Structure 1
Amino acid sequence: MAGKQNEKRHEKRHEKRKSAKSEKSEKPAKAGKRSDGGGDGARPSLRELLRVPPGERPDLRLLDSSGTPGGPAGKAAGLAATALLAQPLASLQERLYAASTAGDRRRVLLVLQGTDTSGKGGTVKHWKFNLGDIAERSLWPAYQEAYELALERCSTDAAPWYVVPADRKWFRNWAISIPLLEHLEEIDPRYPKGDFDVEECRRQLLEG
């Protein structure tokens, strides 16, 4: 129930944001790719549900850290969905690196920010408990205020920030992977053209 309430709260925030931007034109989504803008009556995308609007200060106390807004229907489905993202993410990452060797300067910077025990470490490796985390709990209100201020000032159109509920590891990993995949798809990195004769290389290999 808490997850559904959280998703409805996110959708209401999206509707307010959409009405405020009704006069702005949007580029049509590419075929085969997820749509961020959506159409009238369409459900908001995950990026819209989680994104911190530029210049808007989020109230982190109102966010359900165990919610799964826009997510798969349960843990098993979430794990399966995340597994399916591994191959396209690996392919796009490889293409982005290959493009950089030919002078493409486009980059993706993924910053995982959160207080201790928020799950940022577990997203990329196994997280280990530290006794100091217990004492740090007393500073929680101050940390929340600092994060709210940072999100308000740092989230921009060029460098968006997203608030991801992290109590459910399967949702956290899926929700981080989706925006990363979509941003890489929008960059659409390409392998550089070879500076050698492929057919000649093949001939030499066959003759050798």
Structure 2
Amino acid sequence: MLLNQLLGRQPQALLFDLDGTLIDSVPDLASAVDHTLKHADLPPAGETLVRGWVGNGARKLLERALKHAQSDADLDALLPVFFEAYEACCAEYTVAYPGVEAALQHWHKQGIRLACVTNKPERFALKIVRHFGWDKVMPVVLGGDSLPQRKPSPEPLWEACERLGVERTDALMVGDSVNDVEAARAAGMPVIAVPYGYNYGSDIREAKPDLVVEQLDELI
């Protein structure tokens, strides 16, 4: 089992990023971005562009959209518009990546504790996790606004371990971006990456995670 090789034993906990790791959320994010741009009388960005902007939270996403539109519109005024639009559609076209469901269910049955550690605002992350029924196997969900710090800071990973009741040295991080790799390194835990997510157009292998798998069920 590949997980055991990274720690030299079976991990007690797995911490997962959400967007780009467990789910492809870009269709719904793009819908909310385009709604917000329309509200500001700006042209839509479209799903292809938004796919390259995701990964650093909603504020940065909208900042990139406004920059692309060459607009000096008030970002703080538009964020509530984006949040309202996204809350209405965040689980409409979002899908789980292949292998995710089988992997999560397998690890839950193995007694491995699971948590979601994302930079997405907590209320959206919770809504999506519940939409897929993962709250039954993933009791801890930390968003980008759950703590004063967010990834790539290590504190969210440490907090997830504390809430799960496991030692940091018994946990692994699973993500898709350099933020996840840097957070895991700072937290002192191994990190597994998937290559299909949102890493700003760069190959995640360049961030030197401990392991890259094409889909999560390769790990079971």
- Which structure exhibits the higher relative contact order, with contacts defined as CA atoms closer than 8 Å and separated by 6 or more residues? 1
TM-score category (smaller protein): under 0.3
Larger Rg: 1
TM value normalised by structure 2? 0.24
Higher fraction of helix:
1
